[in-house]
Amino acid sequence: MKLEPECVGCLFNQVHRAFKMLKPDISREIIIAAQKKLMEFFITIDINDSASPIIGKVAYNLVSEMLGEKDPYRQLKNEYNRLALDYYNEAKEIVDKATDPLFEAIIVAALGNTIDFAGQHEIDFIKDLKNFSPQNLVVNDYPEFKSSLENTNHLLIIGDNCGEIVFDKLLITTIRDLHPDLEIIYSVRSAPIINDATLEDAEFVGMTELVPVIESSPTPGIDMPTSTKEFKKLFYQKGGIILSKGQGNFESLFQMDVPGKEIYYLLKAKCTLMERIFGVKIGDLIFKKKVDGF
């Protein structure tokens, strides 16, 4: 997805909020200096031919640079991973007792996408988890996904955030119970970026003990030029399903031509751009099959 008008101001606001979250007493001069560098970067690029996840990486690299930390979100990521693990058994009980466990697991995995420090919403995923309803899936292509699973032998899940990855484990175990012969691969970022899940997070929550985990790209979304060879091979492998988690991955795959694949987006609308594209409200859950032009 190319940069949209809603994204420009949002990126500068994300830089401001990132500093305030990571170091509340940081000086205004440092924030302004980072935002100025981001302005200078905008001037040097063709803004009409730049993908928002790539610019997002630049913005958050500036935050890291100013703070002198390669992974400034590491402590927060660990906290959310631990917190999500604390609620895993409760979520699993809800899924196991559901009339349709797969549908319920998808809802839980979508709610897990609430854990995002870059979003324009308040983080309260525990409350969401306790009070969710299947009716909250405003865009619902679940019947198509269920049918797709019955007619494939390969599923690539493109992971998104830390914490959320715990509930992706629950979705994977649920799918495995129904389709024990299905090959499932999970992907994470190849380097720390915001609170996106990395191999370290996958190991911490036990994802690597459940399914093969591969690295994609070091960006808050999928950037094919910087993705690993292993990821590219699986991504373009003929046939199979891709389940794309979160907004950054959606922005990367939106309007991308991926022949021979069925792609599904699972995310929570977190900004006005998602409201415009999907015709939903901030906070709504989305499970959408990719079609031509989308």
Give tens-digit pLDDT for 230-245: 999 999 988 999 999 9
Which residue is listed with tokens 């690993």?
A: 228
Q: What percent of the chain has pLDDT over 70?
A: 93
Tell me, yes or no, whether 20 and 145 share the same domain.
Answer: no
pLDDT bin (cut points 50, 70, 90) of residue 126 is: low
Give tens-digit pLDDT for 249-272: 999 898 888 878 999 999 989 889
Residue 114: per-residue pLDDT: 67
Tell me, yes or no, whether 103 and 37 share the same domain.
Answer: no
Residue 45: CB atoms within 10 Å = 13
Instruction: For residue 178, give its domain range.
Output: 74-289
| CA nearest neighbour of 42 among 62, 64, 67, 68 | 62
Give tens-digit pLDDT for 192-207: 999 999 999 999 999 9
The answer to whether residue 96 is domain-embedded is yes
Q: Which of 22, 52, 67 is the last residue of a domain?
A: 67
The answer to whether residue 218 is domain-embedded is yes
Ranges 45-49, 93-97, 198-202, most confident: 198-202
The token pair that represents 210 in the structure block:
């459940």
Tell me, yes or no, whether 96 and 156 share the same domain.
Answer: yes
pLDDT bin (cut points 50, 70, 90) of residue 134 is: low
